[in-house]
Amino acid sequence: MMSLYVVAAIVLAVALGYTTKINIGLFAIAFAYLLGCFGMGLSPSEIIAMWPLKIFFIIFSVCLFYSFAIVNGTLEKLAEHLLYLCRNVPHLLPYAVFLTACLIAGLGAGYYTVLAFMAPLTLLLCQRTGMSLILGGMAVNYGALGGANFVSSQSGIIFRGLMTGLGVPESEAFINGLAIFASTMVIPLVVITAFVFFAGHGRALKNAAVAIETPSPLNREQKITLWLTLLMMLIVLAGPIAHILFPGNATVTFVNSKVDIGLIASVFSVIALMLKLGDERKAIASLPWGTLIMICGVGMLISVAIKAGAIDALASWIGGNIPPVLVALVFGVVAALMSIFASTLGVVTPALFPMVPPLAAAMSIDPMVLFISIVVGAQATSISPFSSGGSLILSSCADEQSRTRLFPQLLLRAAPIGFVAAMLFNLALTFI
């Protein structure tokens, strides 16, 4: 019975957060305390210990370092330069938008930050070149999502943290993270290609005149920030990749055991401050505090659900009622429906990832397939106008007329197309 109460609390926390616009994590913390202490007899100390400290520290420290690139304008300037380079091939502009958003997000800006400054620029390009709003919106949205899923960027770090928290070895979580990143890059490219070459959108772009002003060069602070960011990514990736290539080498194993992205990012943040690459107060203020509270708050409630046996019960029900060949598809559908109203990072993956290890073991399914299907499904509907990504794109429209025209296109075309593509991918992934 307590399992049902906890599941109901998760649903209620999401519903209350969506309707009241209050952070879902705050409701989740309250429900974790009330159900854990008064319903299950846990002590307050046990509830507080459920705060996912490791994930919190990693997100905090990594985002703190990456925030210098946001505060001093490095990422925005880099985006301008990349788009300027593509001015002579306007029919490839959707790919340029997608890859630019992906690169900027992969360098650590995170999904929401990239959309915040790339969406207005993309919609302006749509007006100047004849590129359709729906194609531009999909390109920037899915590019930001794919880049943020990179193993050393914001979403990728969260996915890896959730997996290791479930007992998945670090090396396996790293490989799973790379697979998630690759999957969320392939699907959008296929969808964009279908739009450009088979839906007639490419013809409108071929003869377009792209008016992009020559961007100013990067200043000293921006150049140093960019090189530091690339250096940190190289250091963070070198250890796990070397360990995968040389698993028996004692030196590689030792070095890899000392690599921690959160601690490395903390060192680089000190270097950035010493080099005066940005204002410390502005950098701290730009951290995604709302996302941190949501992820950790929901994580506490999910821990209570695990303690109550709710996750095992749901996994057992799926294992007994869903054929193995359809499990990935079902996870994708559930994640997509949840993502329409809830955050992928803060709600969907913390709620569904814990079911993967027991299900994968019971049904002889590769856990990687299920992890991928959850993320792919959740991000398929992120462009819905009711979701955070779609609403950010709508708010970037220059006028009410464009906003009115784009709303049904996102709801009735972009979201369904993304959903169908994701589900077909999940099915193919199961058989492959």
Measured distance CA(108)–CA(100) in Å, rounded: 13
Q: What is the pLDDT of residues 318-375, one digit of tens each?
A: 777 888 888 999 999 988 888 877 778 878 898 899 999 988 988 888 999 999 999 9
Regions of the chain with pLDDT less than 50: 209
pLDDT value at residue 258? 87
Cβ atoms of 148 and 105 within 8 Å: the answer is yes
Measured distance CA(205)–CA(181) in Å, rounded: 29
Full-model pTM: 0.82
From residue 126, give the alpha-carbon distance in Å to each of 35, 176, 205, 212, 351.
50, 35, 10, 12, 37
Measured distance CA(227)–CA(230) in Å, rounded: 5
User: How many CB atoms sit inside 10 A of residue 259's CB?
Assistant: 17
Measured distance CA(37)–CA(304) in Å, rounded: 10
Measured distance CA(10)–CA(2) in Å, rounded: 13
Q: What is the pLDDT of residues 97-153, one digit of tens each?
A: 899 899 888 887 778 778 877 888 788 777 767 778 888 888 999 999 999 999 888
The tokens for 164 are 């290791």
CA atoms within 13 A on the CB side of 392: 22
Q: Which of 184, 154, 142, 144 is nearest to 415 (CA)?
A: 142
HEC secondary structure over the chain: CHHHHHHHHHHHHHHHHHHHCCCHHHHHHHHHHHHHHHHCCCCHHHHHCCCCHHHHHHHHHHHHHHHHHHHCCHHHHHHHHHHHHCCCCHHHHHHHHHHHHHHHHHHHHCHHHHHHHHHHHHHHHHHHHCCCHHHHHHHHHHHHHHHHCCCCCHHHHHHHHHHHHCCCCHHHHHHHHHHHHHHHHHHHHHHHHHHHHHCCHHHHHHCCCCCCCCCCCCCHHHHHHHHHHHHHHHHHHHHHHHHHHCCCCHHHHHHHHCCCHHHHHHHHHHHHHHCCCCCHHHHHHCCCHHHHHHHHHHHHHHHHHHHHCHHHHHHHHHHHHCCHHHHHHHHHHHHHHHHHHCCHHHHHHHHHHHHHHHHHHHHCCCHHHHHHHHHHHHHHCCCCCCCHHHHHHHHCCCCHHHHHHHHHHHHHHHHHHHHHHHHHHHHHHHHC
Q: How far is CA 233 from the centre of its chain?
A: 17
Q: Tell me the torsion sign for CA atoms 99, 100, 101, 107.
A: positive
From residue 187, give the alpha-carbon distance in Å to each of 125, 419, 423.
23, 10, 10
Measured distance CA(334)–CA(338) in Å, rounded: 6
Measured distance CA(159)–CA(373) in Å, rounded: 13
Measured distance CA(161)–CA(173) in Å, rounded: 8
From residue 394, give the alpha-carbon distance in Å to each of 33, 109, 122, 344.
37, 20, 12, 19
pLDDT value at residue 146? 93
Exposed (0-12), middle (13-18) or buried (19+): which is 207, by Cβ within 10 Å?
Answer: exposed
